[in-house]
Structure 1
Amino acid sequence: MAEEKAFLEFGEREAQILAARDVGKLSTMQKQRLAENGLISPLVFMLQTQDYESVEAALFALLNLAFGSERNKLRIAQSGAIPAILKILQWRNESLLELALAALLILSSCSGNKPEIASSGAVQLLIQLLPSEFLKWAATRVLVEAVDGTGPCKEHAVGILVQICRSCRDRYRGMILREGAMPGLLQLSVDGSRQAREKAKALLFLLRDCSHGGSSRVKQSKRVLFEEVMRQIDGGGRAGTSIQLVEEMIAKLRT
């Protein structure tokens, strides 16, 4: 195992590529031990070489280290992988694009990495570069999860979601709602900063259901309460009343 780390740090190009590829052959315990001993940094350095084979081997190795290990996902992000992955996405190389996206998504599955990913410009880049519905859904999912993160992260994520929803409300409204954005948005509309509250309210207005078609009694009950909350927001209702209604709405949405 020490050989892999030595080759990655000091070996020639071919030796580095072979060592990176060999990471996938190691046991879970061996991977963890190597990660603890500094294997991740030379792999992240390989991402910055602009050499296709080196980048491909490094991405595969990092994916192998990240699978099933929250600690390694954090280590990979802390070693500077996220900016390096974003640069790879901008190359528009089809094969590397899929690997880089997979790496970004697996890193985003760790809650500790979500604030950095949400504030890095990753989602805007994905929307700009990748037109497929799956990738837009993936980007939206990362943002919705970030709505439950730290204050600045929440505000940034909601601001981008507003842009996404405005670009095509009919397409993205349901997508955002299905990912569970409402509780975090309602909470932010009450206890966020002034700018965060404004952004949350803007997105809430975009997410309103203007249809009155048939639905289950539970859905109708939630809709009635949501409309009451929105009327309070529209009319600048008393803070105490608004907070109480929001708390009721959040409780209902989470049941």
Structure 2
Amino acid sequence: METENRPSFSYMGRNFSDLSINEDSSAFSECNSDRSGEFPSTSSQSRQLAMACASENSDELIQQLVSDLQSCSIEEQKQAAMEIRLIAKNKPENRVKIAKAGAVKPLISLISSADPQLQEYGVTAILNLSLCDENKEIIAFSGAIKPLVRALRLGTPTAKENSACALLRLSQVDENKSAIGRSGAIPLLVNLLESGGFRAKKDASTALYSLCSVKENKIRAVHAGIMKPLVELMADFGSNMVDKSAYVLSLLVSVTDARTALVEEGGIPVLVEIVEVGSQRQKEIAVAILLQVCEDSVVYRTMVAREGAIPPLVALSQSGTNRAKQKAETLIELLRQPRSGNVAATTKTSAVSV
């Protein structure tokens, strides 16, 4: 598995490795727990649940719920999965207890259920268990990735969103990134990014950002057609997805096919517009992307210059943050080079860590 460092640049003897994009987590979905609302509950176990959430010791109830997950009754399975989900959500210390009690494999079995509601409950419970770092390895090792991908393909809207969040959490273990990519998750996340609601788009972009730190997943994302929704979302300032889409794009453009797709989808005018009218953070991300696009291509530099990039770059070099100023100055120098094709004078990409 090849995990890449964040982009860095050197130009005319100046090292810009310290100009990495500010990875402000507020740009992304927190996925701290499911946000699907409280499931309806009519059984007497609801009272037990309330007592367990307030109690110091919920071990006995957890053991009973794990047993109920394996019941022959779908209704009992639903009730048990729902209550496990709530206990894991409302009392984080129970997440390890639930996993150690043997809940993970039965919950994964529920994710493969033909009953859409049972599948949704299983996905949501696994999501809440995956919020604990200690549980991520056992969830992946127990075979959760493929069922989560299946739910991402065929589940209810809530199951799809929570599957994306669960896959995000599992992808925070580097060894899982390639496995998730190979499982077919990336085209489904791209589809969610393109056609889902706002929360689905936010969750999909966050998962893709995590997964695309691996080169093979960048290629999968580009081949899945990610560039079209990314460019469309960056162009829509009312979508509240400009930052999120640009962060994902900033990872992808280290791949040649991604730069080609970006240009083909009309991304250069969109990036230039962001430099002109975006927020300070958006401007800095857009300039960093344009630097990567232009560093080895006279053709792309010409396109960027013809889109009128130099005036807003000059303005940014005078009024942006220190990092934004440096990036803008570097890009201006590139754009002002003779366009006859003196490749020897172009920027060289820094070595990628493996």
TM-score (norm 1): 0.68
Moved more, 113-122 or 173-182: 173-182
Query: AA paired with 1:4?
Result: L
Which residue in the other structure is 2:293 paired with?
185
Q: CA deviation at 1:209?
A: 3.7
Which residue in the other structure is 1:25 paired with?
129
SS of residue matched to 1:181? helix
In 2, the alpha carbon distance for the partners of 1:203 and 1:174 equals 20
Contact kept in structure 2, 1:59 and 1:103, CA below 8 Å: yes
- 1:84 matched to 2:174? The reply is no
Which residue in the other structure is 2:27 paired with?
none
In 2, the alpha carbon distance for the partners of 1:228 and 1:64 equals 39
Query: AA paired with 2:192?
Result: I
Which residue in the other structure is 2:304 paired with?
203
Query: AA paired with 1:198?
Result: V
1:135 to 220, 241, 265: 241
Q: CA deviation at 1:20?
A: 1.8
Query: AA paired with 1:136?
Result: V
Which residue in the other structure is 1:243 paired with?
344
Any idea what the Cα deviations from partners look like across 1:74-116, whole Å, max 9, x if unmatched? 3223212222223334544344344334333333455542333
**CA 106–225 in structure 1, closer or farther in 2 if over 3 Å, else same:** closer
Unaligned ranges ≥5, structure 1: 190-196
In 2, the alpha carbon distance for the partners of 1:79 and 1:12 equals 22
SS of residue matched to 1:104? helix
1:59-70 mapped onto 2 (5 Å cutoff): 59-66=164-171, 68-70=172-174
Contact kept in structure 2, 1:147 and 1:158, CA below 8 Å: no
**CA 135–211 in structure 1, closer or farther in 2 if over 3 Å, else same:** closer
Contact kept in structure 1, 2:275 and 2:283, CA below 8 Å: no
- 1:96 matched to 2:200? The reply is yes
SS of residue matched to 1:113? helix
In 1, the alpha carbon distance for the partners of 2:160 and 2:299 equals 42
In 1, the alpha carbon distance for the partners of 2:152 and 2:146 equals 10
Query: AA paired with 2:107?
Result: E
Which residue in the other structure is 1:41 paired with?
146
Which residue in the other structure is 1:2 paired with?
105
Contact kept in structure 2, 1:140 and 1:161, CA below 8 Å: no
**CA 200–78 in structure 1, closer or farther in 2 if over 3 Å, else same:** farther
**CA 186–173 in structure 1, closer or farther in 2 if over 3 Å, else same:** farther
Which residue in the other structure is 2:259 paired with?
154
Any idea what the Cα deviations from partners look like across 1:130-167, whole Å, max 9, x if unmatched? 64364122222322332222x22232235443141366
**CA 188–156 in structure 1, closer or farther in 2 if over 3 Å, else same:** farther
Between the two proteins, the alignment pairs up a number of residues equal to 233
Task: State, as a whole percentage, how many aligned pairs show the same letter.
Answer: 19
In 2, the alpha carbon distance for the partners of 1:37 and 1:200 equals 49
In 2, the alpha carbon distance for the partners of 1:82 and 1:225 equals 32
Structure that is richer in helix per residue: 1
Structure with more relative contact order (C-alpha pairs < 8 Å, separation 6 or more): 2
Which residue in the other structure is 2:74 paired with?
none
Q: CA deviation at 1:46?
A: 0.8
**CA 134–105 in structure 1, closer or farther in 2 if over 3 Å, else same:** farther
Which residue in the other structure is 2:229 paired with?
125
In 2, the alpha carbon distance for the partners of 1:10 and 1:224 equals 55
The root-mean-square deviation of aligned C-alpha atoms, in Å, is 4.0
Contact kept in structure 1, 2:165 and 2:203, CA below 8 Å: yes
In 1, the alpha carbon distance for the partners of 2:211 and 2:195 equals 20
TM-score (norm 2): 0.52
**CA 112–14 in structure 1, closer or farther in 2 if over 3 Å, else same:** same
Contact kept in structure 2, 1:161 and 1:203, CA below 8 Å: no
Query: AA paired with 2:245?
Result: A
